[in-house]
Amino acid sequence: MNAATRGAGRLALASAALLAAALLLRAPLESSMALHMVLQLPMIAVGGALAGLAAERHAARLAGALARWDAHGLAGLAWLLPASAYWMVPRALEQSLTMPLSEAGKFASLFLLGFLLPGALARAAVVIQLFFLGNFCAMMAIAGMLYQDMAQRLCNAYSLDDQVVTGVGLVVASIGIAAAWCVWQLPAIANQARERA
C-alpha cells in the first residue's frame, strides 16, 4: 500500500467519523440553534470535504472527471451559495427537526457541497474564489446580524437567546473564514504582485 492510498484511507476514515458524529449526536447538536447551525452543519460539510479529498487521491479517474466537469471551479463554488443560504433560513432548519426528508436533504446537500469544494477551490482563480467566498461570508455575516437584531424568534424550535448566540457565531465564522482565506492566498497574491513588478 503506497503513501497516497494510506493518506486517502485516513481521510475517508476521518470523513466517516465526522459524519457519524453529526448523525449519532443529532439530539444534542440539534437541541440548540447555535450548535445546529454553527457546529453540525459545518461538520457535515467538512466530512464531505474529507471524502472528496480521499476520492481525488484514491480514484484518479474520478478526479479527472471532476476536473473536466468543473474546470475552473465554477460549478462547485456556485453550489456553495444556494446550499449554504438555504440552511441559514430558520424555517428550513426547523423543518429538518421534524421532517425526515428535510433532514436527509440537509445531510445530502451539505455533504455534496463539502465533496465538491476542495477541488473547486484548487481549480478556481483567485478572483473567482474571492467573488464566491466574499458573497458567502457577507451573506453569513448579514444573517448573523439579523439574528441578533430581531426582537422576535425566527425559529419556533429555538429560544430568542439561542438565536442571538447563533447570530454571534455566524458573524465570527464569517470573519474567521475570510481571514483564513486571506492567509491561505497571501503567498499566491504576493507572487503575482512580484511578477507584475
**Amino acid 63: pLDDT:** 63
C-beta of residue 58 within 8 angstroms of C-beta of residue 4: yes
DSSP per residue, 63-113: HHHHHHHTTTSHHHHHHHHHHHHHTTSHHHHHHHHH-HHHHHHHHHHHHHH
Q: Which domain holds residue 90?
A: 3-196
Residue numbers in the chain where pLDDT is lower than 70: 1-5, 59-64, 192-193, 197
**Amino acid 176: pLDDT:** 96
Total structural domains in the chain? 1
Q: How far is CA 42 from CA 73, 126, 181, in A?
A: 20, 23, 16
* pTM (predicted TM-score): 0.88
Q: State CA 194 to chain mean position distance.
A: 32
12: which residues sit within 8 A by CB, 6+ positions away? Answer: 50, 51, 54, 58
User: CB atoms < 10 A from the CB of 144, how many?
Assistant: 24
pLDDT digits (tens, 9 = 90+) for 42-69: 999 999 999 988 887 776 666 667 777 7
**Amino acid 81: pLDDT:** 93
